[in-house]
Amino acid sequence: MSPPWPNGRKLVHLDLKGAPPRIEYLHQLMALFSELGADGLLMEYEDVFPYEGELRLLQATAQPAYSPEEVLSIQEVARSRGLEVIPLVQTFGHMEFVLKQESLRELRELDHCVGTLNPHRAEGLQLLMKMLRQVVDLHPDLHTLHIGADEVYLLGEGEESKQWLASPGRTVEQLFLSHVTKLAKAIKEAWPHMNIIMWDDMMRGMSPDTLRASGLVGLVQPMLWDYGPALDVDTTVSLLEKYSSAGLSELWAATSFKGSTHVHTTVTKTQRHVDNHLQWLKVAAGVSPGVKLLGVALTGWQRYDHLSVLCELMPVALPSLASCLETLVCGQFGGEAQSRVMQRLSVSSVEVEDLESSGASAGDPFVGRRLAEIIVELTSTLNSEDVCGFENSMCVRGWLSPYHRQRKRVSPLIAMQIHSQATTYLTALEQKVEALWEEMRRLYPDSVVQEWIEQHVVPVTAPLQRVTEDIRVCLEEMLPQKDPSPSPAAPTERPSVGDE
Protein backbone atom coordinates (compact mmCIF):
# COMPACT_ATOMS: atom_id res chain seq x y z
CA MET A 1 0.00 0.00 0.00
CA SER A 2 1.28 3.46 -0.93
CA PRO A 3 0.49 6.79 0.70
CA PRO A 4 -2.43 8.70 -0.87
CA TRP A 5 -1.62 11.10 -3.67
CA PRO A 6 0.24 14.09 -2.23
CA ASN A 7 -1.32 17.51 -2.11
CA GLY A 8 -2.15 18.93 -5.52
CA ARG A 9 -5.01 19.15 -7.94
CA LYS A 10 -6.72 16.13 -9.42
CA LEU A 11 -7.83 17.09 -12.92
CA VAL A 12 -10.26 15.09 -15.04
CA HIS A 13 -9.31 15.37 -18.69
CA LEU A 14 -12.20 15.96 -21.10
CA ASP A 15 -11.09 15.16 -24.63
CA LEU A 16 -13.68 16.88 -26.80
CA LYS A 17 -12.13 16.16 -30.19
CA GLY A 18 -14.50 13.22 -30.31
CA ALA A 19 -18.01 12.67 -28.94
CA PRO A 20 -18.50 16.08 -27.31
CA PRO A 21 -21.39 15.64 -24.84
CA ARG A 22 -24.51 17.74 -25.11
CA ILE A 23 -24.04 20.66 -22.75
CA GLU A 24 -26.69 19.47 -20.28
CA TYR A 25 -24.96 16.09 -19.98
CA LEU A 26 -21.59 17.77 -19.60
CA HIS A 27 -22.95 19.77 -16.67
CA GLN A 28 -24.15 16.53 -15.05
CA LEU A 29 -20.77 14.92 -15.57
CA MET A 30 -18.99 17.84 -13.96
CA ALA A 31 -21.17 17.52 -10.87
CA LEU A 32 -20.31 13.82 -10.67
CA PHE A 33 -16.58 14.48 -11.13
CA SER A 34 -16.66 16.82 -8.15
CA GLU A 35 -18.53 14.28 -6.01
CA LEU A 36 -15.96 11.64 -6.91
CA GLY A 37 -13.07 13.78 -5.65
CA ALA A 38 -11.84 15.77 -8.65
CA ASP A 39 -11.03 19.43 -8.21
CA GLY A 40 -10.28 20.48 -11.78
CA LEU A 41 -10.95 19.92 -15.46
CA LEU A 42 -8.37 19.72 -18.23
CA MET A 43 -10.52 20.84 -21.17
CA GLU A 44 -9.21 19.83 -24.58
CA TYR A 45 -11.83 21.66 -26.67
CA GLU A 46 -10.09 21.29 -30.03
CA ASP A 47 -12.68 21.90 -32.80
CA VAL A 48 -15.72 22.37 -30.54
CA PHE A 49 -14.32 25.65 -29.23
CA PRO A 50 -16.25 28.56 -30.77
CA TYR A 51 -13.39 30.12 -32.69
CA GLU A 52 -14.52 33.31 -34.41
CA GLY A 53 -13.50 35.54 -37.29
CA GLU A 54 -10.72 34.19 -39.49
CA LEU A 55 -10.38 31.19 -37.14
CA ARG A 56 -13.98 30.11 -37.61
CA LEU A 57 -12.79 27.51 -40.14
CA LEU A 58 -11.33 25.55 -37.19
CA GLN A 59 -14.79 24.77 -35.83
CA ALA A 60 -16.18 21.27 -36.25
CA THR A 61 -18.55 20.64 -39.15
CA ALA A 62 -19.93 17.24 -38.10
CA GLN A 63 -21.73 18.86 -35.17
CA PRO A 64 -22.00 22.42 -33.90
CA ALA A 65 -19.21 23.76 -31.74
CA TYR A 66 -20.14 24.87 -28.26
CA SER A 67 -21.40 28.45 -28.23
CA PRO A 68 -19.57 31.14 -26.24
CA GLU A 69 -22.46 31.05 -23.78
CA GLU A 70 -22.03 27.30 -23.35
CA VAL A 71 -18.28 27.65 -22.73
CA LEU A 72 -19.04 30.26 -20.07
CA SER A 73 -21.68 27.96 -18.57
CA ILE A 74 -19.08 25.19 -18.26
CA GLN A 75 -16.95 27.53 -16.17
CA GLU A 76 -19.93 28.66 -14.08
CA VAL A 77 -20.90 25.07 -13.24
CA ALA A 78 -17.24 24.24 -12.58
CA ARG A 79 -16.92 27.13 -10.13
CA SER A 80 -20.06 26.07 -8.31
CA ARG A 81 -18.57 22.59 -7.90
CA GLY A 82 -15.09 23.71 -6.87
CA LEU A 83 -13.51 22.68 -10.18
CA GLU A 84 -10.76 24.72 -11.81
CA VAL A 85 -10.91 24.79 -15.61
CA ILE A 86 -7.59 24.49 -17.47
CA PRO A 87 -7.87 24.66 -21.28
CA LEU A 88 -5.54 22.44 -23.33
CA VAL A 89 -4.63 23.85 -26.75
CA GLN A 90 -2.20 21.91 -28.93
CA THR A 91 0.57 24.19 -30.25
CA PHE A 92 3.14 21.97 -31.97
CA GLY A 93 2.19 18.31 -32.40
CA HIS A 94 -1.32 16.88 -32.80
CA MET A 95 -2.53 19.96 -34.63
CA GLU A 96 -4.51 17.87 -37.12
CA PHE A 97 -7.72 19.84 -36.67
CA VAL A 98 -5.85 23.00 -37.63
CA LEU A 99 -3.40 21.84 -40.27
CA LYS A 100 -5.92 19.66 -42.14
CA GLN A 101 -7.35 22.94 -43.47
CA GLU A 102 -6.22 23.52 -47.04
CA SER A 103 -5.66 27.22 -46.40
CA LEU A 104 -3.17 26.35 -43.61
CA ARG A 105 -1.41 23.56 -45.48
CA GLU A 106 1.78 25.57 -45.90
CA LEU A 107 2.24 25.62 -42.12
CA ARG A 108 2.85 21.85 -41.94
CA GLU A 109 6.34 20.56 -41.20
CA LEU A 110 5.77 18.00 -43.97
CA ASP A 111 2.89 18.09 -46.41
CA HIS A 112 1.74 14.54 -45.64
CA CYS A 113 1.93 15.01 -41.85
CA VAL A 114 -1.08 17.09 -40.84
CA GLY A 115 -0.27 17.02 -37.12
CA THR A 116 3.09 18.82 -36.89
CA LEU A 117 3.50 22.58 -37.18
CA ASN A 118 6.43 24.01 -39.11
CA PRO A 119 8.39 25.85 -36.37
CA HIS A 120 10.13 28.21 -38.80
CA ARG A 121 7.20 30.24 -40.08
CA ALA A 122 6.31 33.45 -38.27
CA GLU A 123 2.74 32.92 -39.45
CA GLY A 124 2.63 29.74 -37.37
CA LEU A 125 3.37 31.50 -34.10
CA GLN A 126 0.93 34.25 -35.03
CA LEU A 127 -1.78 31.65 -35.63
CA LEU A 128 -1.12 30.01 -32.27
CA MET A 129 -1.36 33.30 -30.41
CA LYS A 130 -4.63 34.14 -32.16
CA MET A 131 -6.04 30.78 -31.10
CA LEU A 132 -4.80 31.17 -27.54
CA ARG A 133 -6.09 34.72 -27.28
CA GLN A 134 -9.62 33.64 -28.16
CA VAL A 135 -9.46 30.79 -25.64
CA VAL A 136 -8.08 33.01 -22.87
CA ASP A 137 -10.59 35.77 -23.59
CA LEU A 138 -13.46 33.31 -23.17
CA HIS A 139 -12.05 32.10 -19.85
CA PRO A 140 -12.10 35.08 -17.47
CA ASP A 141 -9.76 34.78 -14.49
CA LEU A 142 -7.80 31.98 -16.17
CA HIS A 143 -4.56 31.17 -14.37
CA THR A 144 -3.25 28.03 -16.07
CA LEU A 145 -2.98 26.96 -19.70
CA HIS A 146 -1.82 23.65 -21.18
CA ILE A 147 -0.03 24.05 -24.53
CA GLY A 148 0.26 20.35 -25.43
CA ALA A 149 3.46 19.87 -27.49
CA ASP A 150 3.49 16.07 -27.35
CA GLU A 151 4.32 13.62 -30.12
CA VAL A 152 5.72 16.16 -32.58
CA TYR A 153 6.05 13.62 -35.35
CA LEU A 154 8.68 14.04 -38.06
CA LEU A 155 10.07 17.25 -36.58
CA GLY A 156 13.24 18.11 -38.46
CA GLU A 157 12.18 16.32 -41.65
CA GLY A 158 10.82 19.39 -43.46
CA GLU A 159 13.02 21.29 -45.92
CA GLU A 160 13.24 24.41 -43.76
CA SER A 161 14.15 22.29 -40.74
CA LYS A 162 16.85 20.49 -42.71
CA GLN A 163 18.34 23.82 -43.72
CA TRP A 164 18.24 25.00 -40.10
CA LEU A 165 19.81 21.78 -38.86
CA ALA A 166 22.62 22.04 -41.44
CA SER A 167 24.34 24.67 -39.30
CA PRO A 168 26.96 23.13 -36.99
CA GLY A 169 25.83 22.25 -33.50
CA ARG A 170 22.12 22.44 -34.15
CA THR A 171 19.91 19.49 -33.16
CA VAL A 172 16.26 18.46 -33.35
CA GLU A 173 16.15 18.83 -29.58
CA GLN A 174 17.12 22.48 -29.90
CA LEU A 175 14.58 22.95 -32.69
CA PHE A 176 11.82 21.66 -30.43
CA LEU A 177 12.92 23.70 -27.44
CA SER A 178 13.32 26.83 -29.53
CA HIS A 179 9.69 26.77 -30.68
CA VAL A 180 8.26 25.98 -27.25
CA THR A 181 10.39 28.62 -25.55
CA LYS A 182 9.41 31.26 -28.10
CA LEU A 183 5.73 30.43 -27.62
CA ALA A 184 5.97 30.35 -23.82
CA LYS A 185 7.64 33.77 -23.78
CA ALA A 186 4.92 35.17 -26.03
CA ILE A 187 2.27 33.81 -23.66
CA LYS A 188 4.01 35.28 -20.63
CA GLU A 189 4.31 38.62 -22.40
CA ALA A 190 0.59 38.63 -23.17
CA TRP A 191 -0.51 37.21 -19.79
CA PRO A 192 2.30 37.57 -17.21
CA HIS A 193 0.31 35.72 -14.54
CA MET A 194 -0.29 32.60 -16.68
CA ASN A 195 1.05 29.22 -15.59
CA ILE A 196 2.00 27.08 -18.61
CA ILE A 197 1.80 23.29 -18.60
CA MET A 198 3.20 21.15 -21.42
CA TRP A 199 3.54 17.43 -22.13
CA ASP A 200 6.99 16.09 -21.36
CA ASP A 201 7.59 13.28 -23.86
CA MET A 202 9.64 15.26 -26.38
CA MET A 203 12.08 16.17 -23.55
CA ARG A 204 12.58 12.72 -22.04
CA GLY A 205 15.84 12.02 -23.84
CA MET A 206 17.32 15.48 -23.22
CA SER A 207 20.13 16.05 -20.76
CA PRO A 208 19.69 18.39 -17.76
CA ASP A 209 22.22 20.75 -19.34
CA THR A 210 20.19 20.94 -22.57
CA LEU A 211 17.02 21.68 -20.61
CA ARG A 212 18.73 24.31 -18.46
CA ALA A 213 20.10 26.07 -21.54
CA SER A 214 16.72 26.06 -23.32
CA GLY A 215 15.26 29.05 -21.54
CA LEU A 216 12.24 27.03 -20.41
CA VAL A 217 13.16 27.12 -16.72
CA GLY A 218 10.64 29.32 -14.96
CA LEU A 219 8.35 29.34 -17.99
CA VAL A 220 6.72 25.90 -18.11
CA GLN A 221 5.57 23.05 -15.89
CA PRO A 222 6.16 19.67 -17.58
CA MET A 223 3.38 17.08 -17.28
CA LEU A 224 4.87 13.60 -17.40
CA TRP A 225 2.46 11.05 -18.82
CA ASP A 226 2.42 7.28 -18.71
CA TYR A 227 -0.80 5.31 -19.08
CA GLY A 228 0.43 1.73 -18.79
CA PRO A 229 -0.72 -0.62 -16.00
CA ALA A 230 2.89 -1.70 -15.51
CA LEU A 231 4.73 1.60 -15.90
CA ASP A 232 8.34 1.51 -14.79
CA VAL A 233 8.39 3.25 -11.41
CA ASP A 234 12.17 3.69 -11.17
CA THR A 235 12.43 5.14 -14.68
CA THR A 236 9.56 7.54 -14.03
CA VAL A 237 11.03 8.69 -10.73
CA SER A 238 14.36 9.29 -12.50
CA LEU A 239 12.67 11.41 -15.16
CA LEU A 240 10.97 13.57 -12.56
CA GLU A 241 14.27 13.96 -10.70
CA LYS A 242 16.03 14.91 -13.95
CA TYR A 243 13.53 17.64 -14.75
CA SER A 244 13.79 18.96 -11.21
CA SER A 245 17.60 18.98 -11.32
CA ALA A 246 17.41 20.98 -14.55
CA GLY A 247 15.37 23.66 -12.75
CA LEU A 248 11.94 22.42 -13.89
CA SER A 249 10.92 21.52 -10.36
CA GLU A 250 7.19 22.27 -10.71
CA LEU A 251 5.81 19.14 -12.31
CA TRP A 252 2.58 17.30 -13.05
CA ALA A 253 1.70 13.67 -13.60
CA ALA A 254 -0.79 12.30 -16.12
CA THR A 255 -2.53 8.97 -15.64
CA SER A 256 -5.36 7.42 -17.66
CA PHE A 257 -8.87 6.26 -16.80
CA LYS A 258 -9.93 5.49 -20.37
CA GLY A 259 -8.91 5.80 -24.01
CA SER A 260 -5.42 4.32 -23.81
CA THR A 261 -5.94 0.58 -24.22
CA HIS A 262 -6.45 0.20 -27.97
CA VAL A 263 -7.43 2.80 -30.54
CA HIS A 264 -10.80 1.10 -31.14
CA THR A 265 -11.67 -0.02 -27.57
CA THR A 266 -15.36 0.43 -26.66
CA VAL A 267 -15.60 -0.98 -23.12
CA THR A 268 -13.25 0.20 -20.37
CA LYS A 269 -11.39 -2.28 -18.15
CA THR A 270 -11.31 -0.68 -14.71
CA GLN A 271 -8.53 -2.82 -13.22
CA ARG A 272 -6.13 -1.90 -16.01
CA HIS A 273 -6.48 1.79 -15.17
CA VAL A 274 -6.48 1.26 -11.40
CA ASP A 275 -3.16 -0.55 -11.84
CA ASN A 276 -1.80 2.48 -13.68
CA HIS A 277 -2.75 4.70 -10.73
CA LEU A 278 -1.26 2.29 -8.19
CA GLN A 279 2.05 2.55 -10.06
CA TRP A 280 1.84 6.33 -10.08
CA LEU A 281 1.29 6.32 -6.30
CA LYS A 282 4.60 4.46 -5.99
CA VAL A 283 6.23 7.13 -8.17
CA ALA A 284 4.82 9.95 -6.02
CA ALA A 285 6.10 8.22 -2.90
CA GLY A 286 9.52 7.66 -4.45
CA VAL A 287 10.54 11.17 -5.53
CA SER A 288 12.74 13.40 -3.40
CA PRO A 289 11.33 16.36 -1.48
CA GLY A 290 12.74 18.76 -4.07
CA VAL A 291 10.30 17.50 -6.71
CA LYS A 292 7.13 19.53 -6.44
CA LEU A 293 4.16 17.63 -7.86
CA LEU A 294 1.47 20.22 -8.49
CA GLY A 295 -1.16 17.63 -9.32
CA VAL A 296 -2.28 14.84 -11.57
CA ALA A 297 -4.42 14.80 -14.70
CA LEU A 298 -6.54 11.68 -15.15
CA THR A 299 -6.69 11.54 -18.94
CA GLY A 300 -9.71 10.16 -20.76
CA TRP A 301 -8.82 10.11 -24.44
CA GLN A 302 -11.76 10.07 -26.85
CA ARG A 303 -9.55 9.59 -29.89
CA TYR A 304 -5.86 8.81 -30.25
CA ASP A 305 -5.77 11.80 -32.59
CA HIS A 306 -8.21 13.95 -34.52
CA LEU A 307 -8.41 11.50 -37.43
CA SER A 308 -8.72 8.19 -35.55
CA VAL A 309 -11.83 6.30 -34.44
CA LEU A 310 -13.75 6.88 -31.23
CA CYS A 311 -12.44 5.22 -28.06
CA GLU A 312 -14.70 4.38 -25.11
CA LEU A 313 -17.48 6.87 -24.47
CA MET A 314 -17.62 8.52 -21.05
CA PRO A 315 -20.56 6.49 -19.62
CA VAL A 316 -18.72 3.16 -19.88
CA ALA A 317 -15.64 4.74 -18.25
CA LEU A 318 -17.28 6.29 -15.18
CA PRO A 319 -16.75 3.22 -12.96
CA SER A 320 -13.08 3.36 -13.95
CA LEU A 321 -12.81 7.08 -13.25
CA ALA A 322 -14.48 6.70 -9.86
CA SER A 323 -12.17 3.79 -9.01
CA CYS A 324 -9.04 5.68 -10.10
CA LEU A 325 -9.93 8.77 -8.08
CA GLU A 326 -10.67 6.58 -5.05
CA THR A 327 -7.29 4.88 -5.53
CA LEU A 328 -5.51 8.23 -5.45
CA VAL A 329 -7.40 9.32 -2.32
CA CYS A 330 -6.89 6.05 -0.43
CA GLY A 331 -3.47 4.98 -1.64
CA GLN A 332 -4.88 1.56 -2.55
CA PHE A 333 -8.01 -0.05 -4.00
CA GLY A 334 -8.97 -2.76 -1.58
CA GLY A 335 -12.38 -4.00 -0.50
CA GLU A 336 -13.45 -0.87 1.38
CA ALA A 337 -12.45 1.44 -1.45
CA GLN A 338 -14.27 -0.73 -3.99
CA SER A 339 -17.36 -0.78 -1.78
CA ARG A 340 -17.41 3.02 -1.63
CA VAL A 341 -17.27 3.25 -5.43
CA MET A 342 -20.00 0.64 -5.87
CA GLN A 343 -22.20 2.38 -3.33
CA ARG A 344 -21.67 5.79 -4.90
CA LEU A 345 -22.51 4.53 -8.40
CA SER A 346 -25.16 2.00 -7.24
CA VAL A 347 -23.42 -0.86 -9.03
CA SER A 348 -22.52 -4.39 -7.96
CA SER A 349 -19.07 -4.32 -9.58
CA VAL A 350 -16.48 -1.71 -10.47
CA GLU A 351 -16.11 -3.35 -13.89
CA VAL A 352 -18.58 -1.83 -16.33
CA GLU A 353 -18.77 -5.07 -18.32
CA ASP A 354 -20.41 -6.67 -15.27
CA LEU A 355 -23.27 -4.17 -15.20
CA GLU A 356 -26.66 -5.82 -14.90
CA SER A 357 -29.47 -4.22 -16.88
CA SER A 358 -31.26 -1.74 -14.66
CA GLY A 359 -34.50 -1.93 -16.62
CA ALA A 360 -36.53 0.92 -18.06
CA SER A 361 -37.96 2.05 -14.70
CA ALA A 362 -34.81 1.87 -12.61
CA GLY A 363 -33.45 5.26 -13.66
CA ASP A 364 -29.75 6.10 -13.90
CA PRO A 365 -27.76 5.36 -10.70
CA PHE A 366 -24.98 7.29 -12.46
CA VAL A 367 -25.38 9.63 -15.39
CA GLY A 368 -25.34 7.63 -18.59
CA ARG A 369 -25.70 4.21 -16.96
CA ARG A 370 -28.36 2.97 -19.37
CA LEU A 371 -26.16 3.87 -22.34
CA ALA A 372 -23.24 2.07 -20.69
CA GLU A 373 -25.40 -1.05 -20.32
CA ILE A 374 -26.44 -0.96 -23.97
CA ILE A 375 -22.86 -0.47 -25.19
CA VAL A 376 -21.66 -3.39 -23.05
CA GLU A 377 -24.45 -5.65 -24.35
CA LEU A 378 -23.98 -4.60 -27.96
CA THR A 379 -20.19 -4.90 -27.82
CA SER A 380 -20.50 -8.38 -26.38
CA THR A 381 -22.68 -9.43 -29.32
CA LEU A 382 -20.43 -7.73 -31.88
CA ASN A 383 -17.36 -9.46 -30.45
CA SER A 384 -18.97 -12.88 -30.16
CA GLU A 385 -17.34 -15.57 -32.25
CA ASP A 386 -20.63 -16.50 -33.94
CA VAL A 387 -21.23 -12.95 -35.17
CA CYS A 388 -17.81 -11.46 -35.87
CA GLY A 389 -16.52 -14.76 -37.24
CA PHE A 390 -19.60 -15.57 -39.29
CA GLU A 391 -17.86 -15.47 -42.67
CA ASN A 392 -15.26 -17.90 -41.36
CA SER A 393 -17.83 -20.39 -40.08
CA MET A 394 -17.80 -23.87 -41.55
CA CYS A 395 -21.03 -23.49 -43.52
CA VAL A 396 -20.08 -20.17 -45.13
CA ARG A 397 -16.53 -21.26 -45.99
CA GLY A 398 -17.73 -24.65 -47.18
CA TRP A 399 -20.90 -23.81 -49.13
CA LEU A 400 -20.79 -20.04 -49.76
CA SER A 401 -17.20 -19.33 -50.73
CA PRO A 402 -16.25 -16.54 -53.17
CA TYR A 403 -16.10 -19.30 -55.82
CA HIS A 404 -19.73 -20.26 -55.17
CA ARG A 405 -20.94 -16.67 -55.02
CA GLN A 406 -19.22 -15.66 -58.24
CA ARG A 407 -20.76 -18.56 -60.15
CA LYS A 408 -24.09 -18.32 -58.33
CA ARG A 409 -24.05 -22.07 -57.72
CA VAL A 410 -24.85 -22.94 -54.12
CA SER A 411 -26.64 -25.64 -52.18
CA PRO A 412 -30.11 -24.09 -51.75
CA LEU A 413 -30.76 -26.06 -48.58
CA ILE A 414 -27.61 -24.94 -46.77
CA ALA A 415 -27.79 -21.44 -48.28
CA MET A 416 -31.23 -21.08 -46.71
CA GLN A 417 -29.85 -22.15 -43.35
CA ILE A 418 -27.01 -19.64 -43.64
CA HIS A 419 -29.47 -16.91 -44.64
CA SER A 420 -31.70 -17.70 -41.69
CA GLN A 421 -28.85 -17.55 -39.20
CA ALA A 422 -27.42 -14.32 -40.63
CA THR A 423 -30.87 -12.74 -40.56
CA THR A 424 -31.32 -13.76 -36.93
CA TYR A 425 -28.05 -12.06 -35.98
CA LEU A 426 -28.90 -8.94 -37.98
CA THR A 427 -32.33 -8.66 -36.38
CA ALA A 428 -30.86 -8.96 -32.88
CA LEU A 429 -28.20 -6.36 -33.67
CA GLU A 430 -30.75 -4.03 -35.22
CA GLN A 431 -32.80 -4.07 -32.01
CA LYS A 432 -29.74 -3.27 -29.91
CA VAL A 433 -28.67 -0.50 -32.29
CA GLU A 434 -32.14 1.07 -32.11
CA ALA A 435 -31.88 1.12 -28.32
CA LEU A 436 -28.37 2.58 -28.60
CA TRP A 437 -29.55 5.31 -30.93
CA GLU A 438 -32.38 6.40 -28.68
CA GLU A 439 -30.24 6.47 -25.55
CA MET A 440 -27.05 7.92 -27.01
CA ARG A 441 -28.75 10.82 -28.75
CA ARG A 442 -29.98 12.04 -25.36
CA LEU A 443 -26.38 12.59 -24.31
CA TYR A 444 -24.52 13.25 -27.58
CA PRO A 445 -25.21 14.94 -30.93
CA ASP A 446 -26.77 12.72 -33.60
CA SER A 447 -23.53 12.86 -35.60
CA VAL A 448 -21.71 11.13 -32.74
CA VAL A 449 -24.27 8.33 -32.67
CA GLN A 450 -23.94 7.88 -36.42
CA GLU A 451 -20.15 7.83 -36.22
CA TRP A 452 -20.11 5.29 -33.39
CA ILE A 453 -22.44 2.97 -35.31
CA GLU A 454 -20.51 3.30 -38.56
CA GLN A 455 -17.17 2.68 -36.83
CA HIS A 456 -18.09 -0.09 -34.42
CA VAL A 457 -21.25 -1.77 -35.75
CA VAL A 458 -21.19 -1.54 -39.54
CA PRO A 459 -17.85 -3.40 -39.95
CA VAL A 460 -19.52 -6.38 -38.27
CA THR A 461 -22.97 -6.16 -39.86
CA ALA A 462 -21.77 -5.47 -43.41
CA PRO A 463 -20.44 -9.02 -43.97
CA LEU A 464 -23.71 -10.45 -42.66
CA GLN A 465 -25.67 -8.25 -45.03
CA ARG A 466 -23.42 -9.25 -47.94
CA VAL A 467 -24.10 -12.91 -47.15
CA THR A 468 -27.88 -12.44 -47.17
CA GLU A 469 -27.76 -10.44 -50.40
CA ASP A 470 -25.47 -12.93 -52.15
CA ILE A 471 -27.75 -15.79 -51.15
CA ARG A 472 -30.78 -13.92 -52.43
CA VAL A 473 -29.10 -13.37 -55.81
CA CYS A 474 -27.97 -16.99 -56.05
CA LEU A 475 -31.37 -18.43 -55.19
CA GLU A 476 -33.18 -16.14 -57.59
CA GLU A 477 -31.04 -17.56 -60.39
CA MET A 478 -31.14 -21.18 -59.26
CA LEU A 479 -34.81 -21.28 -58.22
CA PRO A 480 -36.45 -18.68 -60.44
CA GLN A 481 -39.97 -20.06 -59.91
CA LYS A 482 -39.58 -20.38 -56.16
CA ASP A 483 -39.76 -17.92 -53.35
CA PRO A 484 -36.09 -17.14 -52.68
CA SER A 485 -36.81 -16.34 -49.05
CA PRO A 486 -35.59 -19.11 -46.74
CA SER A 487 -38.29 -21.23 -45.16
CA PRO A 488 -38.63 -20.99 -41.37
CA ALA A 489 -38.76 -24.78 -41.42
CA ALA A 490 -35.49 -25.27 -43.29
CA PRO A 491 -34.01 -28.70 -42.51
CA THR A 492 -31.29 -28.80 -39.88
CA GLU A 493 -29.45 -31.96 -40.69
CA ARG A 494 -26.31 -29.99 -41.52
CA PRO A 495 -24.22 -28.35 -38.76
CA SER A 496 -25.66 -25.04 -37.64
CA VAL A 497 -23.85 -21.83 -38.53
CA GLY A 498 -20.90 -21.21 -36.26
CA ASP A 499 -20.19 -24.86 -35.51
CA GLU A 500 -16.76 -26.04 -36.42
Torsion of CA 112, 115, 121, 124, to 10 degrees: 140
The three-class DSSP label of residue 113 is strand
Tell me the angle at which helices 270-286 and 233-245 cross, rounded to the nearest 10 degrees. 50
- The vertex-428 CA angle with 424 and 430, nearest 5°, equals 115
Active-site residue numbers? Answer: 151
- Residues 179 and 219: their CA atoms lie apart, in Å, by 13
Name the strand (E) or helix (H) holding 99. helix 96-99
- Torsion 455-461-467-471 (CA) sign: negative
d(CA 459, CA 443): 24
Residue type, 234: D
**197 bridge partner residues:** 146, 221
Determine contact, residues 32/367, Cβ cutoff 8 Å: yes
Task: Give residues with Cβ within 8 angstroms of 250, minimum separation 6.
Answer: 221, 292, 294
> Rounded to an integer, what distance in angstroms lies between the CA atom of residue 325 and that of residue 339?
14
**Which residue type does 455 have?**
Q
Strand partners, 299: 256
Residues pairing with 293 in the sheet: 251
